[in-house]
Amino acid sequence: MREFQYFARNLYWYSATILTAGLFAALWLIQETAFAAAALGITFLSFVSNRALTRRVEKASEQKRHLDQQLIQSQKLAAIGELSSGIAHEINNPLAIIGQETEWIWHLLKKDSLPSPEADQELRGSLQEIVRQVDRCKEITHKLLDFARKKEPLIQKADLNKLIEDMARLVEKEATQNKIRIVRDYQQDLPRVETDPPLLRQVVLNLLNNAAHAVEKDGTITISTQESANNTVELVFRDTGCGISKEHLDKIFDPFFTTKPTGKGTGLGLSISHGIITRLGGRISVVSEVGKGATFTIELPVKPLRGEP
Amino acid sequence: MPSSAKVLIVDDEERFRITLRKLLTANGLETNAVGSGREAIEELKQQPYDVILLDVKMPEMDGIEALAELKKISKNVEVIILTGHASVDVAVEIMRLGGYEYLLKPCPMDELLAKIESAYERKTARDERLRKAEATPTNPSS
């Protein structure tokens, strides 16, 4: 009986232990399963929401691309609109003068069958004016053609110090007569740049010419070249001229924008320069204040990226 | 042209001013010409004009700004805008400021003369109405 009691007590303890262990094991299992299920659920949910998010991002990117395209298109249209109205103005003025001179010639011819010496003089004057105005129109249309014709740049390695110096000498002759000093600050070991030398020459000449006009008399044009970060070179043209007002600065690279008197400038020089520098993979910028001169900076890559220009 | 309108030409293109003046004078009009909006304002302060031919794109002061100032000096002067620059916005602004007509360069001389004539008629009719209104004694009962 004692043995039986001993056995029963032991069995009780064994069972209790096993049951407790089983309970803990079951609890542990339930917990782990719950954790695993929760983790699985979270993974699934995050997968689903990630997919939805990805889809939304893709859709947003697509919409952005579409909007960007629309923006570019509308900017292009706006540019064409501005350009057309600029062309209309620049061409209509000489046309109006041609029309008037022709009317005056008719008037003189109606009056006399054989023109008097004074009328003859006036006739010649009117004809000369017509030729002058036709030349004015021709200059505008030729520059426009240059502007429109995207000449494919022909890339060659060039020493930009030499390229700029050639143009500086060209401008210097006239500049010296107006007591304008050209100061050079070239970086001697400037890396040779892969670019289109004739196109770049056109830009440099345009900037130096503008600088000389801005200075007019008694001033300085400083040209500096230097290598800068990201494998680029910087060409800086600083003048001590009249400077550019804040409202003009925004329009300085716009086609037909000019501060020169009517008939003296077409307002295409800087916009052509801007186009060339962009095609050469670079950037052109200006800093100026009225009465404090202007600084034009060209940044050019030493080696243009592929597809650029 | 039967009228003898007094016309002021305002344009920064010198040759345009010279030849247009000769043509208008040859057509019996009394003319004068200046090269900027500011000069036009000074000129109108000095003497009256019937019709002003005004360019839009001029340095310093553009035609729209000048038109507003000219109308302040002489409300009755008729202003014809003669411009190489066609823009609906500009035309609307000009009409709002009391501009009489908006012509695009190059404009045939016959058309310009007809516009000047019609502007002058309007100016004289308005002057006449103003004179009558001033001459009519005001009714004390009203």
Residue B99 pLDDT greater than 50, yes or no: yes
Region A169-176 average pLDDT: 84
Instruction: Identify whether the C-beta of residue B107 lies closer than 8 Å to the C-beta of residue B130.
Output: no
Name the residue of chain A whose CA is nearest to B107's CA. Answer: A96
Question: Which residues of chain B make contact with A92, given a CB cutoff of 8 A?
Answer: 83-85, 104-106
> Residue A97 and residue B23: Cβ atoms within 8 Å?
no
Pairing between β-strand A156-158 and β-strand B6-10 as defined by DSSP bridges: unpaired
Other CB atoms closer than 10 Å to residue B111's CB: what's the count?
10
Angle between helices A160-177 and A197-215 (to 10 degrees): 30
Six-digit token pair at A220? 């300085």
State if pTM tops 0.90.
Answer: no
Mean pLDDT calculated for residue range A3-17: 59
Q: For the beta carbon of residue A301, count every other beta carbon within 10 angstroms.
A: 18
Q: CA-nearest residue of chain B to A83?
A: B85
> Rounded to the nearest 5 degrees, what angle is found at the Cα of B86, between the Cα atoms of B83 and B88?
125
pLDDT tens for each residue of A38-66? 666 666 776 777 788 888 888 887 776 66
Half-sphere exposure of A181 (CA within 13 A, CB side): 7
Q: How far is Cα B71 from Cα A29, in angstroms, rounded to an integer?
A: 95
Whether residue A261 lies within 8 A of chain B, CB to CB, comes out as yes
Q: Least CB-CB distance to B13: which of A85, A126, A262?
A: A262
Question: Which pLDDT does position A226 carry in this prediction?
Answer: 96
pLDDT of A279 higher than 80 = yes
Is A88 close to B85, i.e. CB distance below 8 A?
yes
